[in-house]
Each structure stands twice: as structure tokens, then as C-alpha cells.
């Protein structure tokens, strides 16, 4: 079942990725130029996620880490960052209809797609939170490094 929507994704990958990318850029409300290196990195990460979205794998995890690393330090709340996965729910069926196969996704496939996207969103959220926690840890580590000699004396 999943393979059906998965096939639709693979067959229309370029179009889906491009559409996903332009919808993602809208999240930045005009403050992310499409030609910037961050946008390029974002494109690459979205591509990695899309390539490996059908089932869990190390590559998918890597893609999600790359994606969340970028998103976790942007000027937007987590909910907004995660909302880019909901875009896929609209984009995939829309573009699949126009694909070479001229096929539509059956309701069963839609359900499978829906539940896979939910899984992906939650995984992405975990990954995003890991990055946020990392930021907190980095802040702590940095203060400790700054006070290195003082702490050393205090501990002695």
C-alpha cells in the first residue's frame, strides 16, 4: 500500500521537492532569499528526507538531523517549523495527479501517506528538540569554558 504513494513520490520527486522548497521558503515571511546558501542547504536536506521518506533508515535520520539543525535556529516557533511537513500532504497528491502515470492516489494510499507523514512529523519534532537541547547544552558549556580557571579553583 505504502509503495503506491511512495512510487508517486519517486516518480515526481523533482516537482514535489521544488514545490516543497518554495512552500518552505514562505515560512520565512520574505526573509530567506532563495539563492542563499542556507536555502541551498535547506533544499538539500528536504531532498534527503524526501528520498528516504518511505521507511525509517539512517539516511532518513541524517536528513532529518540536517533539516532540524537548520530550522532550530531560525526566527520561527517550532510549530511553524514543523508545519512544513503538513505541506507535503497537499503537495504529493496534487503533483501525483499531474504525473506521467496520470493516476490518482486511492483513499487507502492517502491514509497510508497521512499516517506516514504523521510519523515523519513526530520524528522531525524529536530531532528538532534534540537540536534545541543541544543549543542549551552549548550555552552551558560555553559559560563553563569561560569560567574554566575559576571553576577549577573552586573545585580544587
125 is an interface residue for other proteins by CB under 8 A: no
Closer CB to other proteins, 114 or 143, in the complex = 143
Nearer to other proteins, 102 or 153 (CB): 153
Instruction: Provide, rounded to whole angstroms, the least separation between the CB of residue 87 and other proteins.
Output: 18
Residue whose C-alpha is closest to residue 118's, from 86, 95, 94: 86
Q: How far is the CB of 36 from other proteins (least distance, A)?
A: 4
Minimum Å distance from CB 121 to other proteins? 22
**What's the rounded Cα separation, in Å, for the pair 8 and 96?**
6
Judged by CB, which is closer to other proteins: 37, or 100? 37
By beta-carbon proximity to other proteins, the closer residue of 118 and 133 is 133
Q: What does the buried/exposed string (b/e) look like for 41-60 if buried means 16 or more CB atoms within 10 Å of the residue's CB?
A: ebbebbbbbbbbbbeeeeeb
Q: Which of 3, 38, 122, 129 binds other proteins (CB under 8 A)?
A: 38
Contacts of 9 (CB under 8 A, 6+ apart): 16, 50, 53, 54, 92, 96
Nearest residue (CB) to other proteins, 6 versus 63: 63
The x, y and z cell numbers of residue 126, run together, are 524529536
C-beta of residue 124 within 8 angstroms of C-beta of residue 153: no
Q: Cα–Cα distances in Å, from 46 out to 70, 106, 111, 129?
A: 11, 25, 22, 18
For residue 136, the minimal CB distance to other proteins (Å) is: 9
Binding residues vs other proteins (CB under 8 A)? 28-39, 41, 69, 73-75, 134-135, 138-139, 141-150, 152-153
Amino acid at each position: 500500500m505504502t509503495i503506491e504513494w511512495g512510487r508517486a513520490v519517486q516518480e515526481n520527486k523533482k516537482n514535489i521537492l521544488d514545490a516543497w522548497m518554495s512552500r518552505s521558503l514562505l515560512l520565512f515571511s520574505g526573509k530567506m532569499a532563495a539563492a542563499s546558501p542556507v536555502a541551498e542547504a535547506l533544499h538539500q536536506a528536504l531532498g534527503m528526507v524526501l528520498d528516504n521518506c518511505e521507511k525509517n533508515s539512517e539516511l532518513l535520520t541524517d536528513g532529518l538531523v540536517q533539516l532540524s539543525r537548520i530550522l532550530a535556529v531560525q526566527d520561527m516557533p517550532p510549530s511553524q517549523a514543523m508545519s512544513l511537513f503538513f505541506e507535503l500532504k497537499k503537495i504529493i497528491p496534487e503533483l501525483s495527479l499531474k504525473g506521467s502515470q496520470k493516476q490518482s492516489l486511492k483513499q487507502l494510499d492517502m491514509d497510508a501517506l497521512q499516517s506516514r507523514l504523521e510519523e515523519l512529523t513526530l520524528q522531525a519534532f524529536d530531532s528538532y528538540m534534540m537540536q534545541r537541547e543541544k543549543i542549551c547544552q552549548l550555552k552551558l558549556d560555553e559559560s563553563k569554558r569561560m569560567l574554566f580557571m575559576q571553576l577549577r579553583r573552586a573545585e580544587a
